């Protein structure tokens, strides 16, 4: 698939994916969602020795200012459901991706943009980033998983206030509330996100993928996360990287993980 709205480059084994619709503040239109679906569902699996993905927005103003409002003025209830479901499915691909996905939030992360950042495993935000779920201003609610992931990220009380008031919050509040992992100087978002992925890439990749899976299991209805952990722990014990990690510790040397 040739991308119109995503720029993808690989640096040191890390995919930097930039949503490139600067004039519309990187709003998520249908084409962009299809491209994200293709990248996280197919293309990323073809990148050899991928350490992780940094997701960011083009320009200095916005990470993503939401779903593209021009596309949904005339949605019927059935269309709205289909729109929301399709978006949620794309974001699940990100949340369940086997390598770390870090949002480098370089400006406004509003509506679907805030939801996209929350679907990533980690969030690194620049000092001028602003977060908001302003859908009630449009007569809507978040539709890409925001009502659920916000509660997971910041708790029910703050999530309700955030969504019902539609207030935009500063990066310091977002950090205080636990919505972002790191606040970094303006312009450093991508580099710091890459540094975080580099750090994780020094660990055993299979174990990291199982951490992601088990943490996600906590939120999966009908899944016993404790059992999932037992299962994944056993799987890790069957890897060469486990032998290497334990041997390296006992031999007082750095571990050399191979991903096997």
Task: For strands 6-11 and 14-19, give the pairing.
Answer: antiparallel
Smallest gap from Cβ 135 to ligand CO8, in A, equals 5
Smallest gap from Cβ 141 to ligand CO8, in A, equals 8
Q: Which residues pair with 6 in a beta bridge?
A: 19
Q: What DSSP character marks residue 142?
A: -
Q: Which residues pair with 122 in a beta bridge?
A: 102
Smallest gap from Cβ 196 to ligand CO8, in A, equals 26
Active-site choice (115, 189, 192, 213): 115
- CB-nearer residue toward ligand CO8: 28 or 197: 28
Smallest gap from Cβ 94 to ligand CO8, in A, equals 15
For residue 204, the SS3 value is coil
Smallest gap from Cβ 61 to ligand CO8, in A, equals 7
- CB-nearer residue toward ligand CO8: 100 or 142: 142
Q: Is 115 a known active-site residue?
A: yes
- CB-nearer residue toward ligand CO8: 80 or 185: 80
Q: Which residues pair with 8 in a beta bridge?
A: 17
Q: What's the sign of the alpha-carbon dihedral 141, 142, 148, 154?
A: negative
Q: Is 22 a known active-site residue?
A: no
Question: What residue has token string 């191979």?
Answer: 258
**Three-class DSSP labels, 48-94:** CCCCEEEEEECCCCEEECCECHHHCCCCCHHHHHHHHHHHHHHHHHH
Contacts (Cβ under 8 Å, ≥6 apart) of 1:
34, 35, 38, 42, 43
- CB-nearer residue toward ligand CO8: 29 or 209: 29
| Token digits of residue 31 | 């084409």
Q: Which residues bind ligand CO8 (CB under 6 A)?
A: 24-25, 27, 65-70, 72, 80, 83-84, 87, 108, 110-112, 134-135, 138, 140, 142-144
Active-site choice (22, 48, 95, 135): 135
Q: H/E element holding 110?
A: strand 108-110
- CB-nearer residue toward ligand CO8: 46 or 74: 74
The residues assigned a catalytic role are 115, 135
């Amino acid at each position: 698939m040739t991308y119109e709205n995503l720029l993808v480059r690989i640096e040191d084994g890390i995919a930097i994916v930039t949503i490139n619709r600067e004039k519309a503040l990187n709003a998520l239109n249908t084409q962009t969602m299809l491209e994200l679906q293709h990248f996280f569902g197919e293309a990323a699996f073809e990148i050899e020795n991928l350490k992780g993905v940094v997701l960011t927005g083009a320009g200095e103003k916005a990470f993503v200012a939401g779903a593209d409002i021009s596309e949904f003025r005339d949605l019927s209830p059935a269309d709205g459901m289909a729109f929301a479901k399709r978006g949620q499915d794309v974001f699940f691909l990100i949340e369940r991706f086997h390598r770390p996905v870090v949002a480098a939030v370089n400006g406004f992360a509003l509506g679907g943009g805030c939801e996209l950042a929350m679907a990533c495993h980690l969030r690194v935000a620049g000092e001028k980033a602003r977060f908001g779920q302003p859908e009630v201003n449009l007569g809507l609610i978040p539709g890409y998983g925001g009502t659920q992931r916000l509660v997971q990220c910041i708790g029910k009380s703050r999530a309700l206030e955030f969504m019902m008031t539609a207030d935009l919050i500063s990066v310091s509040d977002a950090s205080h509330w636990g919505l972002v992992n790191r606040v970094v100087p303006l312009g450093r978002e991508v580099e710091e996100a890459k540094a975080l992925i580099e750090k994780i890439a020094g660990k055993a990749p299979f174990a990291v993928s199982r951490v992601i899976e088990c943490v996600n299991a906590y939120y999966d209805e009908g899944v016993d996360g404790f059992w999932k952990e037992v299962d994944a722990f056993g799987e890790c014990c069957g890897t060469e990287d486990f032998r290497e990690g334990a041997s390296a510790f006992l031999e007082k040397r750095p571990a050399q993980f191979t991903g096997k």
